[in-house]
Structure 1
Amino acid sequence: MTASGENVASLLLAWYDAHARDLPWRARPRDPAPDPYRVWLSEVMLQQTTVAAVKPYFAAFTSRWPTVEALAVAPEEEVMAAWAGLGYYSRARNLVKCARAVAERGGFPETEAELRKLPGLGDYTAAAIAAIAFGRRAVVVDANVERVVARLFAIAEPLPGGRRAVRAAADAITPEESAGDFAQAMMDLGATICTARDPRCLLCPLSARCEARRSGEPARFPVKTPKKAKPQRAGTVWWIVREGRVWLVRRPGRGMLGGMRALPDDGWSAGSDGSGEPPLAGEWREVGAVRHGFTHFDLDLRVMALGGAGEPPGEGEWWPVGELESAGLPTLFAKAARRAMAD
């Protein structure tokens, strides 16, 4: 690491000692490393999700499954239901697979290379666990770190192509010691000071070293390639009730929202609109619509209701409408259910 890198690390670690965020999965600066299970669980939950949204889920998971061994023996459908609302449901499926792999091997491995072999762990998560839970030197680059580094070095190459340069620069300033605290300090700096809009440069411990600030346009970095417009899809969801119960189905294990309980729908997908064909005959009425954004497309979903229904085709279950919150519906279907119940 260069002398300038040593200087950045020392400045940032001193700032972190005084300003570290108090998070339920985190050890205080300079304290012994936290439980690898809690680090892993939090990092998986935090992917594409805010800290505020994750906190109650983290508390519920660690209360219900306090160890990786406890999670490893949990039925997958229970974990999926507990995950409902966090989105990106493939993370929950991989969570169970990873927990079982870790329990089988007797604990989490300590190196990035071995961590990457676990189900669902990419480069970032493996590096974060290695650094934060085991104190290994690892280059940890999430969206916050990417922004801090791109500004610190004024990296003008647009993302995603510029990520190689960002990683190389992050490697140059990552210290040999206190790598976990350094990684979390970078995350905190990006989350609280070096924010995407209106960075608070006067409060930043690295402002004197920051090339983007020196340029007079810190918010211009990181430079991003313009996003393509997402496709718009349309579909229909069916609210089928009988004697105070609503018909729920289980989505296929593979694919979007795989393995989750849901309201039946008309087969919409990321690549096509739904058919609009109801699953059984009857006097259907439209009770509203909901809109939901996925990573690669947006969806407009009509909500159609049928009361006093017969038995729908296929496998499913009648769930008490008054207890629907306990069904663990994904956010999209929870929105549709609220729309139907409000009618």
Structure 2
Amino acid sequence: MTSFSNRLLAWQATHGRHDLPWQVADPYRVWLSEIMLQQTQVTTVIPYYQRFLERFPSVATLAAAPLDDVLALWSGLGYYSRSRNLHAAAIMVLERFGGVFPQEPALLAELPGVGRSTAAAIAAFSYGVCTPILDGNVKRVLARWAGIEGFPGEKAIENRLWQLAASLLPAAAADMPAYTQAQMDLGATVCTPKKPACLACPLQDDCAARLLGRQHELPTRKAKKAIPERNTVMMLIRNNNGELLLEQRPPTGIWGGLWSLPEVASTLDAEETCRARFDLTVQLEPALPDFVHVFTHFRLTITPQPAAVLVSPPRLHEAGARWFSPEAALRAGIPSPLRKLLTR
């Protein structure tokens, strides 16, 4: 068991990633990166991470910022509940922990958006706490190395992986940052989901998946289900000044808290909806081509429906609705498909 951690540490020293911008013993920067890296690749995260640090250099500045500013900077990174949790967690660190991230993984796991593995990673990287992590990369490495059957998302299989991960920790706390990084790097660069580079792996000599030729069978995949299909019509309502009507979505759910286009069930309802909700008389223009946005659990077909305002009240009576210039709309916190639509 000890040789497992020793091999990973030796591999990390030579082949691991050492130039990532969050590889510092600063719990704020480590926490920020870990939240951004949830379900998102390193290359995608880096520019967002750098912009966040420029705008919010400390947990105090992040906590003091309006949520709209946080959502605007996050726009395009996806999984927007992470940004809402990020803001809420920053406030909690200030109010409950005096602006200092706790060292104990159990306390870190109480922060919004921080699960057991993320809490362990923050503790290991920032404070050298000896505690296992179990993100997607580590699950794949351990399932292959130990030949563990079953979908890692199932509770029983996950518990086995946690126990195994805990048994493989290095003896010295000083090794925890490098060891934690080594597990992540091995899964991201060598023990990849497809075409793993087994001959470059420090664990190849006793990896069950390699010895049995089962690299592409382990870890066991989740049974596929048909992806539900949904449809919506998004109204591109423009006033005489060329401004676009956006409304803020509810704080929870898909695109929670972001600014988006008003939606209607069909173009047949569009004019009546504009009168009823916004007191606007509009003239519909030819619909733009449909486009598809794929979420984790469903596919959404969006029909963009342009409409020109003929008559409008002096002020919008609908709470949470505002006129935006095209430039201001692109600077706001808007969903990525809307950003693509407006850019086109």
CA distance in 1, matches of 2:310, 2:322: 13
Give how far 1:284 is off: 3.5
Opposite residue 301 of structure 1, the aligned amino acid is I
CA contact 2:248–2:258 (8 Å) conserved in 1:
yes
Report the counterpart of residue 263 of structure 1 in structure 2: 261
CA distance in 1, matches of 2:205, 2:288: 58
Q: Deviations over 1:25-54 (max 9, x none)?
A: 014xxxxxx100000000001111111111
Q: Is 1:50–2:46 an aligned residue pair? A: no
CA distance in 2, matches of 1:167, 1:275: 49
Report the counterpart of residue 337 of structure 1 in structure 2: 342
CA distance in 2, matches of 1:330, 1:283: 24
- The structure-2 alpha-carbon separation of the partners of 1:321 and 1:191, relative to structure 1 and needing over 3 Å to count, comes to same
Report the counterpart of residue 168 of structure 1 in structure 2: 163
Partner SS, residue 285 of structure 1: coil
Give how far 1:328 is off: 2.5
Q: Deviations over 1:241-272 (max 9, x none)?
A: 12221111111122221111111112xxxxxx
CA distance in 2, matches of 1:18, 1:193: 14
Report the counterpart of residue 136 of structure 1 in structure 2: 129
CA distance in 2, matches of 1:114, 1:322: 42
Match of 1:182 among 179, 190, 202: 179
Which region of structure 1 is more displaced relative to structure 2, 246-255 or 228-237? 246-255
Query: Percent of pairs identical after alignment?
Result: 39
Runs of 4+ in structure 1 over 3 Å off: 308-313
Q: Is 1:78–2:69 an aligned residue pair? A: yes
Report the counterpart of residue 20 of structure 1 in structure 2: 16
CA contact 1:237–1:336 (8 Å) conserved in 2:
no
CA contact 1:127–1:138 (8 Å) conserved in 2:
yes
Please provide the CA RMSD for this pair: 1.6
Output aligned runs, 1:34-45, within 5 Å: 34-45=25-36
Opposite residue 289 of structure 1, the aligned amino acid is D
Give how far 1:304 is off: 0.4
Output aligned runs, 1:1-343, within 5 Å: 5-21=1-17, 22-27=19-24, 34-104=25-95, 105-106=97-98, 107-161=100-154, 162-177=157-172, 178-242=175-239, 243-266=241-264, 274=265, 276=267, 277-278=269-270, 279-280=273-274, 281-311=282-312, 314-315=318-319, 316-338=321-343, 342=344
Report the counterpart of residue 278 of structure 2 in structure 1: none
- The structure-2 alpha-carbon separation of the partners of 1:183 and 1:292, relative to structure 1 and needing over 3 Å to count, comes to same
CA distance in 2, matches of 1:285, 1:79: 35
Report the counterpart of residue 270 of structure 1 in structure 2: none
Return the TM-score normalized by structure 2: 0.89
Opposite residue 89 of structure 1, the aligned amino acid is Y
CA contact 2:326–2:342 (8 Å) conserved in 1:
no
Q: Deviations over 1:44-67 (max 9, x none)?
A: 011111111110110000011111
CA contact 1:239–1:337 (8 Å) conserved in 2:
no
Report the counterpart of residue 271 of structure 1 in structure 2: none
Unaligned runs of 5+ in 1: 28-33, 267-273
CA distance in 2, matches of 1:137, 1:245: 55
CA distance in 2, matches of 1:65, 1:126: 21
Q: Deviations over 1:4-35 (max 9, x none)?
A: x21010011011011221211014xxxxxx10
Give how far 1:275 is off: 5.0
Opposite residue 233 of structure 2, the aligned amino acid is T
CA distance in 1, matches of 2:310, 2:3: 70
Opposite residue 178 of structure 2, the aligned amino acid is D
- The structure-2 alpha-carbon separation of the partners of 1:135 and 1:286, relative to structure 1 and needing over 3 Å to count, comes to same
Return the TM-score normalized by structure 1: 0.90
Which region of structure 1 is more displaced relative to structure 2, 11-20 or 35-44? 11-20
Report the counterpart of residue 277 of structure 2 in structure 1: none
- The structure-2 alpha-carbon separation of the partners of 1:175 and 1:310, relative to structure 1 and needing over 3 Å to count, comes to farther
- The structure-2 alpha-carbon separation of the partners of 1:131 and 1:309, relative to structure 1 and needing over 3 Å to count, comes to farther
CA distance in 1, matches of 2:338, 2:310: 20
Give how far 1:313 is off: 6.3
Opposite residue 297 of structure 2, the aligned amino acid is H
User: How many pairs were matched up?
Assistant: 322
CA distance in 2, matches of 1:296, 1:323: 31
CA distance in 2, matches of 1:17, 1:158: 31
